[in-house]
């Protein structure tokens, strides 16, 4: 069974769907793997390294011929989709709400599209969870950016030139990315405060050495995610956080609500209360931002407060982000094959959950409702 891996074309995308190591494993297990020349270049994996494990390196024109499975990081462009045979399985990030036309094109082409971000977050699927693996990278990089952009040291220092107090860092949104940001800021020696609307997050933050800001709000939604706050809750949150944020040297925000724009946690008046030289790193920049003044993809300075709105942070660590992403795909590949034949059980909870289009239909109900 042939897997094709293209070179990613999205601007700023440095990851590759398969690493040489995972490619070698797949080939040993009987898959054929073909990659576009230069597919791994931005993650420092050479064509040679893939050839050495038995993969074929081809041009983009050759790539999709005879491919039964395509692994990507970012969604394929429509120009590529039309080259795929009906029944081809395409697995990668899909962002269906951002591009309904592409979803329609995949349905029309009778492709079986597996949106990796829709893999259900059940225990059995943990090893295929790209949201978690990539959020781990993003949270780590966010803490490094906060330290780099900060005008102050993160650690406490006792030197002949005086004693430096450790930085005060707040992490808002303590999911996978937030926990990694806490851990990283702690390793750099900062004092860390954590805030989340889910009670379960508090214990995890505490175990990493953060202090927890507790508010009388509990907004556990479905499936371990947060729900949107009511107006009353937003007011309580705003008042309590405004005071805390004003004392911080750095704030890292990661709050997300599935299927919605990210909630605003830091308003303009809160930024005004922060001291010059402080920094905000807004990991939710891609989905609108947790800070009112975030500009996605940019760093802006407001009264001396730097507001960083980074995009695609996992690409900043392309080697390890690709390694983790490729392992997620490798684990998923086990659900696609039986006795050397392509034989996905589409009723399996994991595949059914991730399946966006199949046999000419849009199979993911929320996307179908969106497209109408
Ligand atoms: P996410 O990216 O959806 O959101 C990040 C965090 O923002 C969450 O912790 C959320 O509670 C928080 N948030 C939302 N609105 C907020 C607000 N107004 N104020 C403050 N914080 C707010 O989250 P995630 O990292 O994808 O994790 C979501 C859940 O899924 C967690 O409970 C996590 O433990 C769980 N999870 C389970 C599995 C699994 O079992 N396979 C894998 C990964 C994550």
- Predicted confidence (pLDDT) at residue 259 exceeds the cutoff of 80: no
Query: pLDDT-derived band of residue 62, with 50, 70 and 90 as boundaries?
Result: very high
- Residue whose CA is at the smallest distance from ligand 1 atom 3: 256
Q: Check if 330 is active-site.
A: no
| Separation between Cα atoms, residue 310 and residue 141, nearest integer Å | 10
Which residues touch 133 (CB under 8 Å, ≥6 apart)? 321, 324, 325, 327, 328
Distance 17 CA to ligand 1 centre (A): 25
126 classed as catalytic: yes
pLDDT at 217 (0 to 100) = 87
- ipTM value of the model? 0.95
d(CA 214, CA 222): 21
Residue closest by Cα to atom 32 of ligand 1: 224
Q: Are 59 and 366 in contact (CB under 8 A)?
A: no
Of the pLDDT bands very low, low, confident and very high (cuts 50, 70, 90), residue 370 is confident
Q: State how far the Cα of 106 lies from the Cα of 312, in Å rounded to an integer.
A: 24
| Residue of 46, 95, 124, 126 marked active site | 126
Whether 135 is in the pocket of ligand 1, judged by its Cβ within 6 Å, is yes
The half-sphere exposure of 198 on its side-chain side, counting CA atoms within 13 A, is 22
For the cut 90, the answer to whether the pLDDT of residue 308 exceeds it is yes
Among the listed residues 14, 15, 129, 315, the single catalytic one is 129
Active site residue 14: no
CA–CA dist 350, 114 (Å, integer): 10
What lies within 8 Å, CB to CB, of 113 at 6+ separation is: 90, 91, 94, 103, 106, 355, 356, 357, 358
Q: Would you say the CB of residue 30 lies under 6 angstroms from ligand 1?
A: no
Do 197 and 213 contact (CB within 8 A), yes or no?
no
Give the mean pLDDT of 310-339.
Answer: 97
CA of 115: how far to CAs of 12, 47, 89, in Å? 20, 27, 11
Interval 234-247: pLDDT, tens: 999 999 999 999 99
Residue 236 Cα to ligand 1 middle (Å): 21
pLDDT of residue 174: 97
Judged against a pLDDT cut of 90, whether residue 13 lies above it is answered with yes
State residue 172's pLDDT score.
Answer: 97
CB 356 within 8 A of CB 367: yes
Residue-level pLDDT at 209: 97
- In a mutational test of the pocket of ligand 1, which residue from 180, 217, 224, 287 has the highest number of ligand atoms less than 8 Å from its CB? 224
Residue 252 pairs in a beta bridge with 171, 281
- Global pTM value: 0.95
SS3 per residue for the chain: CEEEECCCCCCCCCCCCCCHHHHHHHHHCCCEEEEECCCCHHHCCCHHHHHHCCCEEECHHHHCCCCCEEECCCCCCHHHHCCCCCCCEEEECCCCCCCHHHHHHHHHCCCEEEEHHHCCCCHHHHHHCHHHHHHHHHHHHHHHHHHHHCCCCCCCEEECCEEECCCEEEEECCCHHHHHHHHHHHHCCCEEEEECCCHHHHHHHHHCCCEECCCCCCCECHHHCECCCCHHHHHHHHHHHHHHHHCCCEEEECCCCCCCCCCCCECHHHHHHCCCCCEEEECCHHHCCCECCCCCCCEEEECCEEEECCCCHHHHHHHHHHHHHHHHHHHHHCCCEECCEECCCCCCHHHHHHEEEECCEECCHHHHHHHC
Q: Check if 198 has its Cβ closer than 6 Å to any atom of ligand 1.
A: yes
pLDDT at 221 over 90: no
What residue owns the CA closest to ligand 1's atom 7?
Answer: 255
Shortest-distance atom of ligand 1 to CA 263: 18
Nearest to 193 by CA among 168, 170, 209: 170
Decide whether any atom of ligand 1 lies within 6 Å of the 182 Cβ. Answer: no
- Residue 258 has a pLDDT of 77
Catalytic residue list contains 207: no
Ligand 1 centroid to Cα of residue 65, in Å, is: 40
Query: Which residue is closest in CA terms to ligand 1's atom 4?
Result: 256
Q: Which of these is catalytic: 121, 152, 227, 273? A: 121
Per the annotation, the verdict on 225 as an active-site residue is yes
With both helix axes pointing from N to C terminus, report the angle between 130-149 and 176-187 in degrees, rounded to the nearest 10.
40
Q: Is the CB of 254 under 6 A from ligand 1?
A: yes
Of 316, 235, 15, the C-alpha closest to 308 is 316
Q: What is the pLDDT of residue 340?
A: 87
Work out the number of other CB atoms within 10 angstroms of the CB of residue 98: 11
Counting from 1 in the atom list of ligand 1, the atom nearest the Cα of 176 is 25
User: Per-residue pLDDT tens for 124-150?
Assistant: 999 999 999 999 999 999 999 999 999
pLDDT attached to residue 261: 87
Atom of ligand 1 nearest to the CA of 226: 11
Ligand 1 atom at minimum distance from 201 CA: 9
pLDDT exceeds 90 at position 225? no
């Amino acid at each position: 069974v042939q897997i094709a891996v293209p070179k990613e074309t999205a601007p700023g995308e440095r990851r590759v769907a398969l690493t040489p190591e995972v490619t070698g494993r797949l080939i040993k297990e009987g898959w054929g793997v073909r990659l576009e020349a230069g597919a791994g270049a931005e993650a420092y994996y050479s064509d040679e390294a893939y050839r050495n494990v038995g993969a074929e390196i081809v041009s983009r024109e050759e790539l999709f011929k005879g491919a039964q499975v395509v692994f990507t990081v970012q969604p394929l462009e429509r120009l590529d989709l039309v080259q795929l045979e009906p029944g081809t399985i395409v697995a990668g990030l899909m962002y269906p709400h951002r591009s309904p036309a592409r979803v329609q094109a995949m349905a029309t082409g009778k492709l079986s599209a597996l949106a990796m971000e829709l893999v259900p977050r059940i225990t059995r699927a943990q090893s295929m969870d790209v949201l978690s693996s990539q959020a781990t990278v993003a949270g780590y990089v966010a803490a490094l950016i906060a330290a780099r952009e900060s005008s102050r040291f993160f650690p406490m220092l006792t030197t002949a030139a005086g004693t430096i107090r450790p930085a005060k860092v707040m992490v808002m949104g303590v999911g996978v990315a937030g926990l990694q940001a806490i851990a990283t800021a702690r390793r750099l020696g900062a004092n860390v405060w954590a805030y989340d609307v889910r009670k379960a997050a508090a214990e995890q933050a505490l175990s990493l050495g953060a202090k927890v800001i507790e508010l009388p709000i509990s907004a556990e939604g479905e499936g371990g995610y947060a729900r949107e706050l009511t107006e009353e809750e937003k007011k309580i949150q705003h008042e309590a956080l405004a005071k805390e944020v004003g004392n911080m040297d750095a704030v890292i925000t990661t709050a997300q609500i599935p299927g919605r724009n990210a909630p605003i946690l830091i308003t303009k008046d809160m930024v005004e209360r922060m001291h010059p030289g402080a920094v905000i790193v807004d990991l939710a920049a891609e989905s609108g931002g947790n800070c009112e003044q975030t500009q996605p993809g940019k760093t802006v300075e407001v009264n001396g407060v730097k507001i960083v709105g980074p995009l695609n942070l996992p690409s900043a660590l392309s080697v390890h982000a690709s390694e983790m992403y490729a392992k997620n795909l490798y684990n998923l590949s086990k659900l696609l094959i039986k006795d050397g034949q392509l034989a996905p059980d589409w009723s399996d909870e994991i595949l059914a959950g991730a399946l966006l289009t199949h046999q000419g239909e849009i199979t993911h109900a929320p996307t179908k409702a969106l497209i109408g």
